[in-house]
Structure 1
Amino acid sequence: MAFPTGGDRDSLAPVLIKANPQNKTLHFTGNKITLSFDEYIELQDLQNNLVVSPWPLKTPIINSNLKTISIRLRDSLKPNTTYSIQFGNAVKDNNEGNVYHNLLYVFSTGDHIDSLTLAGQVTVAETGATDSTLLVLLYKDLDDSAVIKSKPDYIARLDNRGGFLFQYLPAGKYNVFALKDGDGGKTYNSKSELFAFLNEPVTISPNSSPVQLFASSIEKEKRGGPSATGITRKNKPTALVYRTSIEANRQDILSDLTLVFSTPLTQIDSNKIILSDTLFMPIPFTLKTDSTAKIVSLHTRWQPDKPYLLLIPAHVFKDSLGFTNEKADTIRFSTKREEDYAAVELRFQNLDLSLHPVLQFIVSDTVFYSAPVTSNKWKNKQFLPGTYGLRILYDANENGVWDTGNYNTKTQPERVIPLPDDLKLRANWDNERDILVP
C-alpha cells in the first residue's frame, strides 16, 4: 500500500494582494502602511535588506503578523517628495521559505511620482571582484565633507554582480559614493573601510548614463603575524624558535631561503653565518630582515639540483627578550631541479599596453608573483608549478604594485582586471594559453 505524499512542494513566492494606502499613492499624509499577502509570511534579516529612500533620520517600525506587514513611519515627511520602501529579500512565506524578491512600495507627498533612475556598477579596485555588502550613497549636498559629516539622501544595495539601481529619483546633481559601512553609521569615517567616489557630481535626468565606481581602502585591516612552513628549529622554551622555508628538504631556486622567528630580532651577527657546498666552500649571500624583524631572508643565486649547507653558530641571533640561539645548527638541503619547474607562455588579446599592464599570479587571494607586460606575449621558462588565478593591474604610476585611491586628493585607485579561468601549470611542461582580456 502506498502512503500519500502530501502533494508537490510549494515553490511559489508570496503574492501581494493589497496595499493600504495603495502603492504609488499621491498626496500621502499618514504614517501607517499595511501590506497584505495571499499566504502567511515572515520577515528575515530586515536590517540588511531594508532600504528607505530618501534615507530617514528614524528607521520605520516594521512588523509581520500572519499574512500582513505593518509599517509605521517615525519621521516627518518632506513635501513634494517621492518615497520608496525596498524590502530586498526580507519577505518570505512561512512554510517553505520562498522569498518575495525586491518587494517595493512607493508613495509621494506631492502630485506626482518621480521616475528618474541611476544605474551603475561597483568593483573592488584591488582585485577586480565585487562585494555585495557595499552600499551606494547619493548626496544632494555637493560639499566634499558631506559624506563624512552627514547621512546620504538615497541609498542602494548591490546585487551579487556588483550592480545597483536607484529608482524614483528627482532630477538634479548628486555626488555618488560607495561604502562598506562597517559601523552602520552611513558615513565615511574609517580609512580601513572600502570606499569609492566619482570625481565629479552626476546630473540625473531622463538621459542619465550608468556610472562605474572603484572601491579601495587607504589602510588594510590588521591581520595576524607572519607564518611559514618547513623545518622547525627549537633549542629550548626560553631560547629562540624559528622555521625555514625549506620544504621536503628542497629549496626553491626562484626564492630566498627564509628564517621565521617567533619574536622580533634585535641583533644578527651575519658575518658568522656560512652558506657553503658540501666541500665547505663558502657561497656568497646577503641577509635582509623584514619590517617586523621576525623574518630573515637569505638571498643567493641558487644552482639547480645542488646540495648546500647552512651553518648557523650559537649566539648569532638575539631577540627583543634577550634570548639567543644557544646551540649551533647545521641545515643540510638541496635545491630543486630544473625539471621541477614549468615553462609558461601567455598570449594576450585586447591588452592595452599604453596603460602599463602588470601580470599578477594569485594564490589564496594574495599576489604570489607579478611582472610587467611589455608586449602581447609573455614568457617565463622557470615557474613554480601549481594553480594560479590571473589578474592584470593597470599600473598608472609604474611602480609595479597596486596603489589605493585617495578621496582628499581625488585620486582614483589603480584598476585590476581578473582574467577568466585559473591557470594550472605542470612541471617539466610547456604551458601555453591564449587570453582575451575583458
Structure 2
Amino acid sequence: MRKFKNYIILVCFFAVLGLLSQLSGCASIQHPTGGPRDSVPPKILKEQPKNFSTNFRSDEINIEFDEYFKLANEYKEISVSPAMEKSPIFKVKKKVLNIQFQEPLQDSTTYTINFGNGLTDYNEGNILKNYMYVFSTGTEIDSLSISGTVTNSLTKEPVLDATVLLFQASQDTLFGKKRASLFTSTDSSGNFSLKYLRENVYTIYALKEEGGDKIYNTAKELIGFLDKPITLTKDTAGIKLEIHQEEPVNFRVVDRKIEKDGRIAFAFNKQLTKPSIQILYPSELNATKITEFGEDADSAYVWTQSLDFDSINVAFQDDGKNLDTLTIRRNKRDTYNKVLNITDNIPSQLIKPGTDLTLTLSAPVGAIDGKKFNLLQDSLPVAGLRVSRDSLSTRKIHLKFPWRDEKKYIINIAEAAFTGVFGGTNKAYTREFSKDVEENYGAISAIIAVPDTSKNYIVQVLTEQDKVVHQLAINKNTTINLPLMALGTYYLRVIYDDNKNGKWDTGVVSTRKQPEKVWNFEEELALKANWELEKKITIPKAP
C-alpha cells in the first residue's frame, strides 16, 4: 500500500512539473514585431468642388484624405498659378484640407494648386508627390504640357527630385529672386511633366537645391536651363535639361583662419588660374612668406616669419588681376605650437611598386638631419636610404630605396630630424610597411582617336566614385598608358575643351551660356590583377 501511495505521489509530481513547464512556455512574453513600416502616402477620397471643375465659383475647396495628414513646408512647397496677391489659407481639419481664397478669382482663367512635396501622412511623413488641384473659372481648362528629362551634365545620369521651374518669359527677371508658380519634381528616371498650361512663351530651368525654397540662390546648387524660351502652342515633349554646379562669377574667400600651428588657411568659392597672395600689412612679412595653393587652386596656406601681429591684411590676385583683400585679427593671448606633423603615402602599409615613400609635413621644411633616419629591413639595419626634397613643394620629402619583394621595412625618424623654415620640429616617427607586388595591379592602355585635330579634348580616367585619377589634354590621336593601376572599375570621360584652357568650364545661367560639352565612354574599364586592358576609343564629334 505504501509503495502504491509513493507511486501515486511520483505520478502527480511529474504531472505538476509538466504542467508548470507548459505554463512557463505559454507565459513567455514576445515583443510585437509591429509589421512592415508604412510607406504609403495619403490617398484622396473626395474633392469638393471636384478636381478639374470648370465654371468654378466657390470661395473654398475641401479635400478629404483616407488618413490623418499634415502640411510640410507649405510656404515653400505649395504654389498657386497664376499667383495671387493674397495667398489662400490652408487649414487642416482632421482628415480634411480646407483651402480658402482671400481674393476674387479672375474670369476665364485656369488655376493650378501644386502641392509639390507639401502633403505627407501624419506619422511616417510619406509624401504625396506632385499632387495638383486644377480648376477653371471659364468653360475649359488649359491643357497644354511640357515634359522631358533632367540629367547631370558630367555623368549624364538621371537626377531624382530635381525641381523643374517654369516662368512666363515676361516674368523671367524673377528667376533667382522669387519662386516660380509653375514647378514639378523629377522621378527616379529624371523624367518630369508640367501640365495644364496655357499658350504662352516660357523659360524653363532645372534646379537641384539645398534649402528647399525652389529659388536658385547659391552657387552650391546645381542648375540647368535652355538657351532660348519655349513658345508653347502645342504639347511639347523631349525637353532635355542638364544640371551642373556653376562656377561663381565673383571671387570670394569663404573661410579663413589662423590654425593652432600658426598656418594661415584660406578657402575660396572658385578655382583660380594663376593665383597669388600678397601680405599688405605687416608689409615686412611679405618678402619671406611661403604660400602653397591646393591642387584645384581653390584653397591656400600661408606661413609667415612672425606671428606677433595683431592683424594681418592680405590681397588676392589671379593672373595679375586684383580680386579681393581681407583682414584677419588674432587674439594677443593666442599661442601657436609649431610642431611639424608627418603623414605618408602608405595608409595600407603597402608601398606601391616603383614609388618612393613620400612624407608630407604640416609646414615648410628648412633643415634636414640625415643622421636621424634609420631603415630596417627584416629587423636588420640597411644602408642606402636617400632623402630628397620635392621639386614643387616645400613640405614633401621623398625617401628613396630599392624596396624588395617579401621584405618587411621599418623606418624610424628621430625627433627634430626636420626643422621648419619658421621654427618647430617633428616628433619621433615610425612606420612599418612592405613592398606590394606588381601582380596586385593592372594596366590600362587607351588608344584615343580624335574627330578634329583643330580642337582640344580633355581625357579623364575616373574611379567608380567619380574621382579623377588621370587627366590629359590632347588634340591628336594619342595612346594613354597607365601602368600599375589599382584593381577596380574605371570610366573614361572626354571634355570638349572649346576655349583650350585645359579645364571644364561650367555654364553661366545669367547669360544663358551652356557648360562645355562632355562625352562619357559607355563601356566600363574593369581592371583585373596582373592584366593589361587595351581599349580603342573614338571620340565622337561634340553633340
TM-score (structure 2 length as normaliser) = 0.59
Q: Which amino acid in 1 is paired with 2:494?
A: L
SS, match of residue 216 in structure 1: strand
Aligned residues: 411
In the other structure, the counterpart of 2:462 is 361
AA aligned to 1:407 is V
**What root-mean-square deviation, in Å, do the aligned CA atoms of Structure 1 and Structure 2 show?**
5.1
* 1:394 counterpart = 2:495: yes
Partner in structure 2 of residue 40 of structure 1: 67
Question: For the Cα contact (< 8 Å) 2:117–2:127, is it kept in 1?
Answer: yes
Counterpart selection for 1:288 from 392, 399, 406? 392
Structure 1: stretches of 5+ with no match in the other structure: 1-7, 227-236
Question: What CA distance in whole angstroms lies between the structure 2 residues aligned with 1:327 and 1:28?
Answer: 80
User: Structure 1 residues 324 and 401, CA, compared in 2 at 3 Å: closer, same or farther?
Assistant: same
CA offsets, 1:213-260, max 9 Å, x none?
A: 22222348979999xxxxxxxxxx752212111245543358786544
Of the candidates 109, 113, 128, which is equivalent to residue 137 of structure 2?
A: 109
Describe how 1:110-149 pairs up with structure 2 within 5 A: 110-142=138-170, 145-149=173-177
Q: Quote the residue 1:343 is aligned against.
A: 443
SS at match of 2:69: strand
Amino acid across the alignment from 1:385: A
Partner SS for 1:212: strand
Give the superposition deviation at 1:166: 0.9
The one-letter code of the counterpart of 2:491 is L
Distance 1:158 1:76, change over 3 A: farther
Listed as ranges, the matches of 1:15-414 within 5 Å are 16-37=44-65, 39-43=66-70, 45=72, 47=74, 50-54=78-82, 60-74=88-102, 77-87=105-115, 102-142=130-170, 145-206=173-234, 208-219=236-247, 239-252=339-352, 258-262=358-362, 265=363, 267-269=364-366, 279-280=383-384, 286-289=390-393, 296-297=395-396, 314-318=417-421, 323-326=423-426, 336-344=436-444, 353=451, 356=457, 358-371=459-472, 380=481, 382-397=483-498, 398-414=500-516
Aligned twin of 2:317 = none
Distance in 2 between residues matched to 1:96 and 1:249, nearest whole Å: 46
CA distance in 2, matches of 1:191, 1:82: 35
CA distance, structure 1, for counterparts of residue 466 and residue 517 of structure 2: 16
What is the CA distance between 1:156 and its match in structure 2?
1.9
Q: 1-side partners of 2:357 and 2:87: how far apart?
A: 57
Give the letter aligned to residue 108 of structure 2: N
How far apart, CA to CA, are the structure 2 residues paired with 1:171 and 1:424?
A: 51
- Contact 2:149-2:192 within 8 A present in 1 as well: yes
Q: Secondary structure at the match of 1:339?
A: helix
Residue in 2 aligned with 1:232? Answer: none
Which deviates the most, 197-206 or 404-413? Answer: 404-413
Bigger proportion of residues as helix: 2
Alpha carbons of structure 1 residues 142 and 418: separation in structure 2 relative to 1, 3 Å: farther
**CA–CA separation in structure 2 for the residues paired with 1:144 and 1:255:** 56
Answer whether contact 2:450 2:477 (CA < 8 A) is retained. no
Going from structure 1 to structure 2, the CA distance change for 1:252 and 1:78 (only over 3 Å counts) comes to farther
* TM score, norm. by length of structure 1: 0.71
Query: Alpha-carbon deviations, 1:307-358, whole Å to 9, x = none?
Result: 998989744434xxx542256879797764433320235689xx98558362
Deviations 1:352-396 (A, max 9, x none): 855836243125343233346889997645142233352523333
Q: Distance in 2 between matches of 1:207 and 1:357?
A: 39
Matches of 1:303 and 1:143 in 2, distance apart? 69
Contact 2:370/2:387 (8 A) holds in 1: no
**C-alpha contact 1:148 1:189 (8 A) present in aligned 2:** yes
Which amino acid in the other structure matches residue 367 of structure 1?
V
Over 3 Å counting, the alpha-carbon distance change for 1:325 and 1:82 in structure 2 is: same
Cα offset, 1:138, TM superposition? 1.6
Q: Unpaired runs of 5+ in structure 2?
A: 1-35, 256-265, 268-293, 295-336, 376-381
TM-aligned CA deviation for residue 73 of structure 1: 3.6
Are the aligned partners of 1:358 and 1:400 in contact in 2 as well (CA < 8 Å)?
no
The offset of 1:407, in angstroms, is 2.4
CA distance in 1, matches of 2:106, 2:163: 23
CA contact (8 A) 1:23 1:107 kept: yes
Distance 1:370 1:104, change over 3 A: same
Displacement after TM superposition at 1:206 (Å) = 0.8
2 CA distance for matches of 1:17 and 1:69?
12
Change (3 A) 1:181 1:74: farther
Cα distance in structure 2, aligned partners of 1:309 and 1:248: 15
Aligned to 2:321: none
- Partner residue of 2:300? none
CA contact (8 A) 1:140 1:153 kept: no
| 1:113 CA drift (Å) | 0.9
Residues 255-296 of structure 1, C-alpha deviations (whole Å, 9 max, x = no match): 78654445xx3x43388889999654858763323xxx9xx4
For the 8 Å contact 1:359–1:373, the answer to whether it is kept is no
CA distance in 2, matches of 1:371, 1:19: 60
239-248 or 134-143, larger mean C-alpha shift: 134-143
Cα distance change, pair 429–182 in 1 and its aligned pair in 2 (3 A): closer
Give 1:83 shift. Answer: 1.7
Distance, in Å, in 1 between the alignment partners of 2:86 and 2:341 is: 56
Instruction: Decide whether the 8 Å contact of 2:365 with 2:419 is kept in 1.
Output: yes
In the alignment, which residue of structure 1 is the partner of 2:528?
Answer: 426
| Structure number with larger C-alpha Rg | 2
